[in-house]
Amino acid sequence: MSAAVLCTGSEITRGEITDTNSSWLASRLTAIGFEVTAVEAVDDERGRIVSALGRLGEAHDVLVCTGGLGPTTDDLTAECAALAAGLALVRDPGSIEAMRDRFRRLGRTMVASNVKQADLPSGARILPNPIGTAPGFSVRVGRALAFFLPGVPVEMTRMFDDHVEPEIRAIAPATTFQVRLRTFGKPESTVGEMLRGIEQAHPGVTVGYRASFPEIEVKLLGRGRSSVEARERAERAAEDARRRLGAAMFGEGETTLVQAVASALRARGLWLAVAESCTGGLLAHLLTSAPASDYLAAAFVTYSNEAKTRLLGVPPELIVEHGAVSEPVARAMASGAAAATGAEVAVAITGIAGPTGGTPEKPVGLVHWAVKHPGGVAARHRVFALDRRRVQRIAAFAALDLVRTSL
């Protein structure tokens, strides 16, 4: 069964606001079991709203629309819904009464323009709005059961939970199950090669990829005649995929690379120190996106050679001999950060993030990283042919991944 989302409002089509209602609704409809195939926004223009409603109503089983229920002249949704459904627009006395009550409670007077908010398609089911003025409604448009909700996110989500979800859950097919595997270190094309043929080997399973730089997430969506069958199919394919991905996979579902590293450190009671040059604090920032005070000792951003020497004790002659971007300096930064903080594990990054500063021997994008851990020191390097922001991001992830695989 398919579903669509339609948001009305010129503020969205002009890009004046980022519409968060759409992805919230799409995510909820998907989780309930619908296949959401269209998410659209249309400007405040009668003809275009009516035509979008008609088209989406013909093609879907469920349609959720937000916005355009307010009191001003550019709020056209109820009128357009009536046109698309072939119904008259009639004033609903119950909604007028509810509005009058609400204004009385707020100590305000209802103005004439509010009355328009009670003009709804004849025969529509009214969806009361407990925290705002505009009522919502549901009505059949084409083959779709269509729901019309206010655009204000807090009202929209509350009314979806109260009125829409219970009604559509009763008609939803419970036949999909998704497993998400998270990888780092291989480009999307290589991950695709590693999983080549998995759809053929596991009928009823669709493989999707999502690149959320620098991670590649693999999504295995199982479909079946029952939710048990869908789940079994997805799980079997996931088992196969885990084996193929090996160490490229660092976690599943909502697990981030930072969480994988944090868990490994916590499980062994180890403290981590961080020394960053070209990543400029990004690695520390990623680690502290969640509470980290039980494993993160301290972090240093030592951008200049002087800071590397002064704060981390990197010998100046090492920098002169090998350059600041070199394996010996990365190793010395890691050792220095461990010594300065007393941490058992230390990770260091030094590189040329660009856009300038490269040489023929050491091009922009060259990054060295090293991890000092209880068993020794590991060091790696790569040239990342990316812009500054992405060199920093992939370098921070690569260093984190070396902490993970070193433990």
Please list every residue from 127 through 146 that binds a copy of itself, using CB under 8 A: 131, 133
Angstrom distance (rounded) from CA 249 to CA 198? 16
- Shortest distance, position 382 Cβ to a copy of itself, whole Å: 8
Among 16, 254, 317, 361, binds a copy of itself (CB under 8 A): 16
Q: DSSP letter at 5?
A: E
Q: Is 174 in the site for a copy of itself (CB under 8 A)?
A: no
Contact mark string toward a copy of itself, 366..395, x via CB under 8 A: -----------------xxxxxxxx-x---
Contact 160/28 with Cβ under 8 angstroms?
Answer: yes
Q: How far is CA 139 from CA 35, 166, 237, in A?
A: 21, 16, 40
Q: How far is CA 304 from CA 366, 367, 377, in A?
A: 17, 16, 23
Give 301 or 318: the residue with its C-beta nearer to a copy of itself. Answer: 301
Among 54, 280, 313, 328, binds a copy of itself (CB under 8 A): 280
Q: Is 334 in the site for a copy of itself (CB under 8 A)?
A: no
3-state secondary structure of 298: strand
Give 102 or 125: the residue with its C-beta nearer to a copy of itself. Answer: 102
**Helices marked H in 17-164:** 21-32, 46-59, 77-85, 93-105, 112-115, 153-159
As given in the structure block, the two tokens for residue 44 are 């405040």
Give 24 or 165: the residue with its C-beta nearer to a copy of itself. Answer: 24
- Enumerate residues 6+ apart whose C-beta is below 8 A from 251: 182, 257, 259, 260
Angstrom distance (rounded) from CA 194 to CA 249? 12
Among 301, 339, 378, 379, binds a copy of itself (CB under 8 A): 301
Residues 191-210 within binding reach of a copy of itself (CB under 8 A): 192-193, 199, 207-210
Among 141, 149, 237, 287, binds a copy of itself (CB under 8 A): 287
- Shortest distance, position 156 Cβ to a copy of itself, whole Å: 12
- Shortest distance, position 1 Cβ to a copy of itself, whole Å: 14
User: Beta 35-42 vs 205-212: how paired, if at all?
Assistant: unpaired
Q: DSSP letter at 162?
A: I
Q: 354-359, long-range: CB within 8 Å, 24+ apart, which pairs?
A: 354/387, 354/388, 354/391, 355/387, 355/388
- Shortest distance, position 57 Cβ to a copy of itself, whole Å: 15
Contact 372/338 with Cβ under 8 angstroms?
Answer: yes
**Helices marked H in 212-256:** 227-245
Give 58 or 122: the residue with its C-beta nearer to a copy of itself. Answer: 58
Q: Is 45 in the site for a copy of itself (CB under 8 A)?
A: yes
3-class DSSP string for 126-159: EECCCCCCCCEEEEEECCEEEEEECCCHHHHHHH
Q: How many residues bind a copy of itself (CB under 8 A)?
A: 109
Please state the separation of Cα 183 from the chain's center in Å. Answer: 16
Contact mark string toward a copy of itself, 56..85, x via CB under 8 A: --------------xxxxx-----------
- Shortest distance, position 123 Cβ to a copy of itself, whole Å: 27
Q: Is 249 in the site for a copy of itself (CB under 8 A)?
A: no
Q: Is 307 in the site for a copy of itself (CB under 8 A)?
A: yes
Give 246 or 376: the residue with its C-beta nearer to a copy of itself. Answer: 246
Q: How far is CA 163 from CA 46, 97, 147, 177, in A?
A: 26, 20, 9, 25
- In this chain, which stretch among 90-98, 140-148, 182-190, 325-333 interacts with a copy of itself, using CB under 8 A? 182-190
Q: How far is CA 155 from CA 64, 98, 122, 163, 242, in A?
A: 14, 16, 23, 12, 41
Angstrom distance (rounded) from CA 139 to CA 144? 9
- Shortest distance, position 14 Cβ to a copy of itself, whole Å: 4
- Shortest distance, position 299 Cβ to a copy of itself, whole Å: 4
Among 8, 29, 329, 372, binds a copy of itself (CB under 8 A): 29
Q: Is 356 in the site for a copy of itself (CB under 8 A)?
A: yes
Give 281 or 315: the residue with its C-beta nearer to a copy of itself. Answer: 281
Among 86, 94, 128, 187, binds a copy of itself (CB under 8 A): 187
- Shortest distance, position 5 Cβ to a copy of itself, whole Å: 8
